[in-house]
Amino acid sequence: MQLFVGLGNPGGKYAGNRHNIGFMAVDRIAADHGFGPWKSKFQAEMSEGRLGSEKVVLLKPMTFMNLSGQSVGEAMRFFKLDPADVTVFHDEIDLAPGKVRVKQGGGHAGHNGLRSVHQHIGPEYRRIRMGVGHPGHKDRVPGYVLSDFAKADQDWLDDVLRGCADGAPSLAEGDGGRFMNAVALRTNPPRDTGGPAKPAQDPAPAPREAEAVDHRSPLQRLADKFR
């Protein structure tokens, strides 16, 4: 059994924020794979379903980002899971928009949601780092991640979310490489290098034969006419 956690903040005010891309990812997984209705449990919204042969619980902590670990720890203990059974989807300012990376264990890099998860279950869980870009200066980070995605971001964002849903069964089976391939097929689809067939060209007209030059004198031409 797997626990897939999306990090974000509850409420319509935050729904479109960059900080809520984790919520968006698990929402798309639930929708694309026919998960059950969302229910309130573990200080979170929870949905259950299957990804391939694996039973998976999707979790969106409703504690606000800084206390996300409370909900994750409660759910993990209830289902008797290990940290290695937990995957957390979260925004990552150190990756360019549209980039996605899988990471097992490690530090929280100052992300308040991950910091809270570390405190409650330790660092040995898997993360899906979903790039949202950096505002350019650390003082601008809080306002940046708590702002909505721009309209110009919607195409790549939709591709990333669809890719995460496409690859979710592979992720549940522990195959991070195939998950990344599924994301790449959405974000960087292969190009058709063959190109459109060129229309057939009409053959060039055959050159006209040069007209023969008549070197006869007028008198010879008249004489030849009556032969």
Neighbours of 13 (CB within 10 A): 9
Phi, psi (rounded to 5 degrees) for 77: -70, -40
Q: Contact, 93 vs 145, CB < 8 A?
A: yes
Q: Rounded CA gap, 153 and 168, in Å?
A: 22
CA-wise closest residue to 136 among 92, 91, 93: 93
Active-site position among 19, 90, 111, 118: 19
Q: Rounded CA gap, 22 and 4, in Å?
A: 10
Decide if 19 is catalytic. Answer: yes
Q: Rounded CA gap, 199 and 177, in Å?
A: 42
Report in angstroms the alpha-carbon separations of 88 from 114, 125, 127. Answer: 8, 8, 5
- DSSP letters, 19-43, are GGHHHHHHHHHHHHTTPPPPEEETT
Residues annotated as catalytic (active site), given as ranges: 19
